[in-house]
Amino acid sequence: MSKLYDPHWEKEARTEEESRKLQVRTGVLVGIFGAILLTFVVVLYQTQIVHGQDYLNSANYSVQEEETVDSVRGEILDRYGRVLVTNSVRYDITLDTALMGEDRNEILSELLELCREQGVAWNDSLPVSASQPWTYTKTDSLFSYEWEDEEGTVTVRATNLGRLAQGRGWIESAETADVTAEELLRAMAATFGLEIGENEPVSQVHRQLIGVLYELYLRSYEILTSEYTFASDVDITFISAVKERALTGVLIETETSRAYNTPSAAHVLGYTGDITPELWPTYQELGYAMNATVGRAGVEQAFEEYLHGASGRRQIETDDNGKIVAQQWLEEPDPGDNVVLTLDSSLQAVTERYLADFIEALENPAGGAAVVMDMTGGVLAMASYPTYDPGDFWELYGDLSSDTQRPLVNRATMGLYAPGSTFKMVTAVAGLSSGVITPITQVRCTGLYHYYGVNQACWIYPGNHGLENVTQAITDSCNIFFYDTGANLGIATLQDYARQFGLGEYTGIEIPEYRGQMAGPEAAETVGQTWYGGEVLSAAIGQSLSQFTPIQLANYVATLVNGGNHYQAHLLKEVKSSDYSQVVYEYEPELLNSIAIDQTDLDAVLEGMYNLSQTASMAQYFASLPVSVGCKTGTAEVSGQEATATFVCFAPYDNPQVAIALVAEKGSSGGNLAQVAAGILAQYFSTEDSQSSPAQENTLIR
């Protein structure tokens, strides 16, 4: 008999199966929860028990502070958008001995060992040789001796190291200044807690550590801060090695520094540096960080307000090793704007090369300058010789500052020179505009001019030019014609026209310049001399006490050939935002004054300059140019020295675009500089139509 189907049995079996599954699930959940709980307990144990003291120490020593963060400096470009100065990122190693404590010497020794292994140089200015035998590397490293009077009384002055040596008792006084370098090193080692046995020689390792400790002590003594930049611009390999060793108080700082894309225009571009103590109050009011980099010369300084941007503020938290564990921006820094100059960097390079080649070929090379300017005062090129590579400025500063040829002086704006015959166009315009002469007035040149009982000679004497009008007198540079014109004008009128042309006056250029002076009673008084009426003759031909800068000469010629409009000289073309998306400022030429010159009179003067360019001595240089030129030579006599050569020109003759002024100390005749001018003009007129290219669609225009 078959078993009948029982529904109750099936229900019980199903219930039992579900109960087993529930038990399994519950077991799994309990296991997971247990694992989580165990993990939490382990982490808690590690945090509270194993590393509790470490975290406690970190919490106890963490410091919160606000710091001012310098902004990224803007770029400097030439008129065609070529970047002349930009920024590069570098890594510096700094030391903070406040974090090192009693382990300072051990930490520094380990750092120096790492430097020796990887060939990394560090900053060390201790004036003791780097290797044995130990000697002073500078004369009178401890004291300098100055003779103060005729009886031979000597004044002894302590040097930087000497003051420290006295202050720390390394030496007693100036009378013991004959201490040897090794004796000094031993005394310094004892002060710095570095043990050197009595019979143990001072090793090179000892000397290196003493040098670093001296740097640290020097800053503490002079600057009252313990931070010290140990090494600059280190590579990533060294950075990794430093991080691996986790040296307390050895910090890695990211810095930006100026990078120069051109070896030219050093005097124009200038340089950047730290804020000097005397300027700190001013920059502090502007919100600068104390360690900010600022413009110190040239356009870097002139356009600081655009280039610097705005500093930011950051809140940082550091642990007892000086490491940043948290940071928050309170105010982010704004990068500086980009400054576009009127300079043409290609023309600048050519101008510097031609000027240098000319001066270096002289029998007694000295100095010189060149300025190329457009008709509204914009400087296209400005060269000063001797010069230097702006990228190497700080590395070469010591040599540059002590060089007797003064390469740091910008002769284009701060060199004062008698203009010589290049001044004669001023006398001509003054005579024509005042009615003293007309374009057809003739003066007979006999070679000598008698005035106030004195004979003044023409440069051609014992020859003569015969009858000369103003055009011929400019071409022939006839002194007699301009003696006569100057005598009839008087010094006051000559001074007035010189001033209207900007000679002996500030040009307004944004970088430092000298004013110079126009000859006259006032100039004589400033040098303790008496002005005599007969000196007007010398003043009329650009001699006497007249001294002008090359940029004044260039601006004067631009004013003359553009019809008498005297503009302020300038280097700024425009300022663009940090991302180049908009023009922040655009320079508008500033008209300082206008000189009323009759067109017929002006034509007579400019024709004389053109005719000079066509003479055999000048045509050899200018004949191959694609444009015609007007020019004037000058030879300025310098007492007891070879004459200074001056030269000015403009082109094209029928539609002036550019004016040039050249000066060469000890250059003899100004005509010698025509070859330099021709080279500059060839560069300008061969490239002026090819510098700008049409903007491409969807591209960012600089």
428: buried, middle or exposed (CB in 10 Å: 19+, 13-18, 0-12)? Answer: buried
Q: What is the mean pLDDT of residues 272-291?
A: 84
- Which pLDDT score, from 0 to 100, does residue 275 have? 83
Strands 338-341 and 324-331: unpaired
- Dist. CA 414–CA 10, nearest whole Å: 114
The pTM for the full model equals 0.77
Lowest mean per-residue pLDDT among 284-288, 464-468, 663-667:
284-288
Q: What is the mean pLDDT of residues 37-42?
A: 74
pLDDT tens profile 402-423: 889 999 999 999 999 999 999 9
Lowest mean per-residue pLDDT among 93-107, 135-149, 259-273, 488-502:
135-149
Peptide bond into 652 cis (omega under 30): yes
Specify the 3-state DSSP secondary structure of 286.
Answer: coil
Around 139, how many Cα atoms within 13 Å sit in the side-chain half-sphere? 2
Kindly indicate the confidence band of residue 175, based on its pLDDT and cuts at 50, 70 and 90.
Answer: low
pLDDT tens profile 73-122: 999 999 999 999 999 888 888 888 878 888 899 999 999 999 999 999 99
Contact 663, 639 (CB under 8 A): no
pLDDT tens profile 137-168: 765 567 665 554 555 555 656 666 776 777 66
- Which pLDDT score, from 0 to 100, does residue 1 have? 45
**Stronger pLDDT, 645 or 179, i.e. the higher one:** 645
What φ, ψ does residue 633 adopt, rounded to 5°? -95, 160
Kindly indicate the confidence band of residue 216, based on its pLDDT and cuts at 50, 70 and 90.
Answer: confident
How far, in Å, are 429, 436, 508 from residue 595 at the CA level? 10, 17, 18
360: buried, middle or exposed (CB in 10 Å: 19+, 13-18, 0-12)? Answer: exposed
Nearest to 394 by CA among 223, 522, 212, 272: 272
Amino acid at 296: R
Q: Which two tokens stand for residue 288?
A: 């600068």
Helix residue spans in 442-490 (DSSP H): 470-476, 479-489
- Dist. CA 356–CA 350, nearest whole Å: 10
CB atoms within 10 A of CB 614: 15
Lowest mean per-residue pLDDT among 43-57, 91-105, 106-120, 486-500:
43-57
Contact 407, 388 (CB under 8 A): yes
Contact 87, 263 (CB under 8 A): no
